[in-house]
Structure 1
Amino acid sequence: FEGGRVLTAAIAAIDLALHDIVAKSLGIPVYQLLGGKHRDQIPCFATCGMPSAEELISNVKLLMDSGWNVIRVMMAPGGSEEGIFEPRESIPLTADRVIALREEVGSGPVLGVEYHHRLSVAEAASFCQRMPSGTLDFLEEPIRDESPEAYESLRSMTDVPFAIGEEFASKWQFMPYLERGITQFARLDVCNVGGLTEAMKVAATAEMHYIDLMPHNPLGPICTAASVHMAAAAPNFAWLEYRITPTDSVREFDTEMFPIQLSAEGDRIPVPDTPGLGVEFNEALAKEKSFEFWEAPHLRRRDGSYTNW
């Protein structure tokens, strides 16, 4: 029986550890095990919330002044009440604010919007149709991804490039999205898909279809390091998600637990030449700490029905 994402995440932990062990035993960085590196630095994108139109523009300008050129903005709130998300309230707000942002910053920066699987096909189409051509460089995960046919239907309604795949747990889940041109960026997560072994197979398949990787990377120093080595070794790479920026700190990476870890210099992470992944883990400290479970928010609509987070 197929184990799904939980099993492939466990496999990823073992796979990444084995790559780190073998590379350290040989005295080489992990990317050498993957065929060598195509680049010395990994371009990253920053994330920006959307509390208001004014704050959005201010935060994006702050990022640009700090050297960031690829910026993803989160969708506008879909209601003022806590725990409520109404797509039809979020869509016009998000569209108006993104259009105003593009007019303010010009055509130079790469701009994308993240909708985190919260829309239906009709709602996503309505959002895309509000976007003047050239406003958005990508739209991330507007609808749930279990049905390639649903995404294919949405793909036929808009020319906005899609970024899909952060929840995929195998190369087979990626296959229809790559082969049928449904996504234009592969949001590959090395910790969901089973580690570097499986990730490089997805990367190669994406390369065959001229689709660049845009890895999902909110999980911490080990995922960041593994993603950097994958991005160095894959020829078809766009940008890596990085969550410690002037406008975002979704995961403060624990420097006591991870005394040696990779970090960005401006909007790029230098590819390390140290043996292994380039991360050191304080195993003794980890044994002393209890596991802290994080539960995703629970969202609903005003009629009481459940909606995606």
Structure 2
Amino acid sequence: MPVITTATAQLVDVAVETLRTDAVQQFVKQETIVVDLTTDDGGTGTGYSYTIGTGGNSVLELLRRSLLPLLPGRDARCVEQLWHTLHAATHATTVGVITSLALAAVDTALWDLRCRRVGEPLWRLAGGYRQRVPLYDTEHGWLHLDADDLVAGAVDARAKGWSGTKIKVGRPTVADDTARLRAVREAVGPSFSVMVDANQAFTGAEAVQRARAFDELDLGWFEEPLPADDLAGHERLVAATTIPVAVGESLSSIRQFAEYLRRGAATIVQPDVARVGGITPWLKVAHLAEACNVAVAPHFLMELHVSLVAAVPNGRTVEHIPQLRAITSREMTIEGGQAVAPDEPGIGIAWDRDAMDDRRVA
């Protein structure tokens, strides 16, 4: 059996490529937590997770002190067993995003190792439903941008054959948000998807008010309208609007997703591999959503999520926000307006080790 011999972690800071703002925060940098595993038969696997500016050192310390020491001597093929072993070892800090981020870095490394061992790409080993998936733009929809900039970004995405664009909302007035969205809708026409994202900024009453104002704009979804732990608020909003309500990037366990789906409080789910604890739980969320006839449109991490959206039948689309270009030697492939899942063995990310070394902070 392939026995894990070494397990190491590092923290690499990656600057944002453009100013990114939403209703509650600014994306300062990506703290990238990278885990490398080796086995006694020469196998290797690399996984990662991230934060958007704070907390990376906490994740790194949890890995170094509590999780990575448990891996040497274990069978690398037993991914499910190892995930549960590590989860149990951090029982006092679960459910929680710091623990999920640490688990994800290990789990993605184990999947990378697994795929390499059998000579298969992630998209096929995780399900193999299709290789090409629709793509939508977020990079040109940030909250600080004016209507002209939003329109230019949306028109460009449409010209490339992408499926849609996402606009951040949460300006001080309903009229301001609505005017920006109306400008985009009028520019791209009715057949191009326009989604909105509030980043948990609204109260229940505000979310209902904005949803009613947005109703005429034929939106693809209303993302994170409320704080993620306001399950009842999301349930009321779904009942009050015809706009699909998208939730999930800030949920960190399968059971949280299950409760949202059980109560009909989300009509699109958006699991994030890093924040939900890895590929292993991400796939469970996706299949849970499939059983409820709900689509999956994951948050961020396009270089990894392209393979997972391709793997499952209810994968809807991939969010285009470039962030790994500074530490990889190859970008995600886009052909004919669609994202193409990598076909080489592994999770499909070509790391540039020299660039990572230059940006390593711990």
* TM norm. shorter chain > 0.5: yes
- The amino acid of 2:268's aligned partner reads F
- Which residue in 2 is equivalent to 1:253? 325
The TM-score with structure 2 as length reference comes to 0.69
Partner of 1:189: 272
Structure 1 residues 33, 153: closer, same or farther in 2, change over 3 A? Answer: same
Q: Which moved more, 1:65-74 or 1:258-267?
A: 258-267
Partner of 1:122: 205
Check 1:52–1:259 CA distance in 2 against 1; reply closer, same or farther (3 A cut): closer
Letter in 2 for 1:273: D
Do the aligned partners of 2:107 and 2:278 also contact (CA within 8 Å) in 1?
A: yes
CA RMSD of aligned residues (A): 2.0
Q: Match of 1:10?
A: 102
The alpha-carbon distance between structure 1 residues 132 and 103, as it changes in their structure 2 partners (threshold 3 A), is farther
Q: 1:130 to 1:183 in 2, by over 3 A?
A: same
Change (3 A) 1:141 1:172: same
Aligned to 1:202: 285
Q: Which residue of 1 aligns with 2:332?
A: 262
- SS of the equivalent of 2:195 reads strand
Q: Is the 8 A contact 1:196 1:226 kept in 2?
A: no
> RCO higher in 1 or 2 (8 Å CA, sep ≥ 6)?
1
CA contact (8 A) 2:181 2:217 kept: no
Deviations 1:52-81 (A, max 9, x none): 2333223322221222231111126x3xxx
Mapped pair 1:45 → 2:128: no
Counterparts in 2 of 1:162 and 1:268: CA distance versus 1, 3 Å: same
Deviates most, 59-68 or 204-213: 59-68
2:257 to 156, 164, 174: 174
Q: Assess if the C-alpha contact under 8 Å between 2:261 and 2:292 holds in 1.
A: yes
* One-letter amino acid matched to 1:239: T
2:166 is matched with: 72
Relative distance call for 1:285 and 1:271 in structure 2 (3 A) is closer
Partner of 1:272: 342
Across the two proteins, how many residue pairs are aligned to each other? 267
TM-score by length of 1: 0.80
Rounded Cα–Cα distance in structure 2 between residues aligned with 1:281 and 1:107: 40
Higher helix share goes to which structure? 2
Select which of 151, 156, 164 maps to 1:57: 151
Q: CA deviation at 1:287?
A: 4.0
Q: Which letter maps to 2:112?
A: D
Offset at residue 288 of structure 1 (A): 4.8
Mapping of residues 103-182 of structure 1, within 5 Å: 103-133=186-216, 135-182=218-265
CA contact (8 A) 2:133 2:339 kept: yes
Secondary structure of 1:192's match?
A: helix
Judge which range, 276-285 or 178-187, deviates more: 276-285
- Residue-by-residue CA offset, 1:18-73 (whole Å, 9 max, x unaligned): 111121122111233323x1112021110223532333223322221222231111
Q: Which of 157, 160, 182 is the aligned partner of 1:99?
A: 182
**Separation of aligned partners in 2, 1:68 and 1:290:** 34
* Contact 1:45/1:267 (<8 A) preserved: no
Q: CA deviation at 1:252?
A: 5.8
Q: CA offset at residue 104 of structure 1?
A: 3.5
User: What is the match of residue 23 of structure 1?
Assistant: 115
SS at match of 1:108: coil
TM superposition shift of 1:227 = 1.3
Q: Percent identity?
A: 27
Shift of 1:158: 1.4
Q: Once the 2 structures are TM-superposed, how far is the Cα of residue 243 of structure 1 from its aligned partner?
A: 0.9
Contact kept in structure 2, 1:260 and 1:278, CA below 8 Å? no
Cα deviation, 1:148-171, whole Å, max 9, x if unaligned, reads 111112222211111110011110
Unaligned runs of 5+ in 1: 79-88, 218-222, 245-250, 293-309
Aligned equivalents of 1:266, 1:49: Cα separation in 2: 25
Structure richer in strand, relative to its length: 2
- AA partner of residue 349 (structure 2): V
> Whole-Å Cα distance in 1 between the matches of residues 263 and 151 of structure 2?
36
